[in-house]
Amino acid sequence: MKFGLIFVNTGMGSTPAGARQLAQNAEAAGFESLWTVEHVVVPSGYQSKYPYDKSGKMAGGLEEFDLPDPLIWLTYAGAVTERIKLGTGILILPQRNPLVVAKELATLDAFTGGRVILGTGVGWLKEEFDALGVPFADRGRRHDDYVEALRALWTGDRASLHTTYANFDKCISRPVPANGTIPVVIGGHTTKAAQRAARIGDGFFPGSGGLDELRTAFDAMRAECAAIGRDPNEVELSAGGGGRDFDELCSRVEQLAAMGVTRVLLPPQPGERLLQMAEGLKTRFDMEV
């Protein structure tokens, strides 16, 4: 089982010193990956429902909190570490220019020796899309066109693409990723997200919901794979972990493993507690670096 840390660019990881310490502690403890979250802006008084908390609000209802840019945070973390993988969990791709994102991610991957994982999704905060001037209703199709654009540009060849939302001809983008491409993990808890993961994802991360919700999402992904003739084992499954204590966390990890999950993402802990958690996971599970 792989174990990573998510929400790393919030809280203790939202300052330069905190980010450095968290990244280095996570690597020393043996965690496989670091995962950022993203919002460019948080429109005050937003009415969109946050899908990963019963309150419908993120960050416990807080609106004013530091949330560093995910790609800049990962660049900083990559510069102070040597091995740990650098993931976005998730990048709201429809809000960004895909040609710029292709360059940013390929550069980061090349400079860190192939450590980048692109977790991407369509977003949920309509008011943020409105503030950015990006249509909310078509974000799904826009996202999928952008993923196609990224992969075309990462070849380093003269790339051309003519779709509804990505239109360019004979464009060269270099450097290329260290391993020729970057894994794309599709985030989202809906049936559409599960189907998207089956169609275009290298992985699927439906979040940290209840076990029944996760099982439904994974089943939907597998059903779509069957419909399009794809081996569902080609789609790596990740899910959020947690619990009131370590035993409850381990119980959840065991149940996730039974569903086919091979990566569990956990919230970060202060230094010594992080090391203790890692040692416990190594004892209970085959913790894969």
CATH code: domain of residue 133: 3.20.20.30
The verdict on residue 247 lying in a domain is yes
Q: How many CB atoms lie within 10 A of CB 133?
A: 7
Split into its structural domains, the chain has a count of 1
The reported pLDDT for the residue numbered 289 is 63
Residue closest to 214 by CA, chosen among 233, 234, 199, 193:
193
The verdict on residue 165 lying in a domain is yes
Domain extent for 275: 2-284
pLDDT tops 90 at residue 208: no
The verdict on residue 191 lying in a domain is yes
The verdict on residue 61 lying in a domain is yes
Query: Tell me: the pLDDT tens digits for 82-141?
Result: 999 999 999 999 999 999 999 999 999 999 999 999 999 999 999 999 999 999 999 999
Mean pLDDT across 73-90: 99
The verdict on residue 289 lying in a domain is no
Mean pLDDT across 156-176: 99
Residue closest to 43 by CA, chosen among 104, 114, 125, 106:
125
Query: Tell me: the pLDDT tens digits for 55-67?
Result: 999 998 999 999 9
Residues 245, 194, 137: CA angle, nearest 5 degrees: 110
The verdict on residue 93 lying in a domain is yes
